[in-house]
Amino acid sequence: MAQAHSTGDGDGSGHTGPGARLRRLGRRLRNDRGVWRRGIVLAVLAVLLALVMLLHAQIPNSVGNLGSLTETFLPWLAVFVPVLLILGLVRKSATALVALLVPVIVWFSVFGGLLTDKQGSGGDLTVVTHNVNADNPDPVGTAKDVAASGAQVVALEELTARAVPTYEKTLKAAYPYHSVQGTVGLWSKYPLTNTRPVNIELGWTRAMRSTVATPQGKVAVYVAHMPSVRVKLDSGFTASQRDKSANALGRAIDDEPLGRIVLLGDLNGTMNDRALTAVTSQMRSTQGAAGSGFGFSWPAAFPMARIDQIMVKGVEPESSWTLPETGSDHLPIAARVTV
């Protein structure tokens, strides 16, 4: 007599296949109450991760500027999600896995908009900003790379007295108008007027403004290099001087008589950092409005944060992108706007 042999996929009722396997899994989950009791700590950590992303503005800066430090690398909190996922699978914890949906949903609600491509094809003015690095081993190559972008206006930061003549000579043919103020400079295909340093309360010049006479009208262009920040074990995120300078720059921009303004520079801070509110509250980021992805610019070898910014007021951002690596530790960034 022939005998029926089980394939191992049945559920005892003669049914096989994915549906049967799902039913068996459901029975195991119902019978194994420990799958919901295990991983409570992991679930709590998942919820805390979501709260940090959602309520980062409430993290105080009074202790080591912890709030600003968190906001600088806020998108990277997502790296904890796969870690918690693996731990939840190891623990066979349904509670942890369900709780993990909370930070995933929050992350996409906060940063999901940056993942879409918002770049357009319009625009009548292309601008570039680049921290060229004081120790750049190839200023000639860097200048040529920046000029090759086709931008009508180029801002350079961290210029040294020794390197300035090299940049001036290399960029002269493409940009007949330029001005260097302290350690920042502006090169333009269009005439510059009313050029002057901007006091950001450092004691030396690391910011400037100039009126660029574009064919579409006058635009006030600011170039700024905010003071550097450091993370130290004994004092935390040392950014107080940067914050002070950002407030001074914000006041200068607020007092600007022209209605069309472009800010180019290394702000040593991201758009999420509350310390830059004096600037970010009155201007738009071209990356956020017309970019694709996060547009991280530093460090060039493995970009982790967008601390170089192109921001606008009174003009319309059309597209924003990063340029290839040069001899600097920052990536150049570019944007095209409609004046």
How do residues 270-285 score in pLDDT, each as one tens digit? 999 999 999 999 999 9
Is the model's pLDDT at 36 over the cut of 50?
A: yes
Q: In this predicted model, which residue has the larger pLDDT, 29 or 208?
A: 208
Confidence of residue 207 (pLDDT cuts 50, 70, 90): very high
Q: CA 310, 292, 258 angle in degrees (round to 5)?
A: 25
What does the pLDDT look like over 284-296, one tens digit per residue? 999 999 999 999 9
**Where does CATH 3.60.10.10 sit in the chain?**
125-338
What does the pLDDT look like over 132-176, one tens digit per residue? 999 999 999 999 999 999 999 999 999 999 999 999 999 999 999
What order of strands is seen across the sheet that includes strand 284-285?
192-197, 207-214, 217-225, 261-266, 308-313, 284-285
pLDDT of residue 45: 96
Overall average pLDDT of the 35-48 stretch: 88
What does the pLDDT look like over 66-92, one tens digit per residue? 888 899 899 999 999 999 999 999 988
For the entire predicted model, the pTM comes to 0.85
What does the pLDDT look like over 211-257, one tens digit per residue? 999 999 999 999 999 998 776 555 556 678 999 999 999 999 999 99
Q: What CATH superfamily is the domain 125-338?
A: Endonuclease/exonuclease/phosphatase (3.60.10.10)
Is the model's pLDDT at 2 over the cut of 80?
A: no
List all residues 6 or more positions away from 155 whose beta carbon is below 8 Å from its beta carbon: 127, 128, 129, 130, 184, 185, 186, 187, 221, 223, 264, 265
Overall average pLDDT of the 108-133 stretch: 94
Confidence of residue 20 (pLDDT cuts 50, 70, 90): confident
Overall average pLDDT of the 111-129 stretch: 93
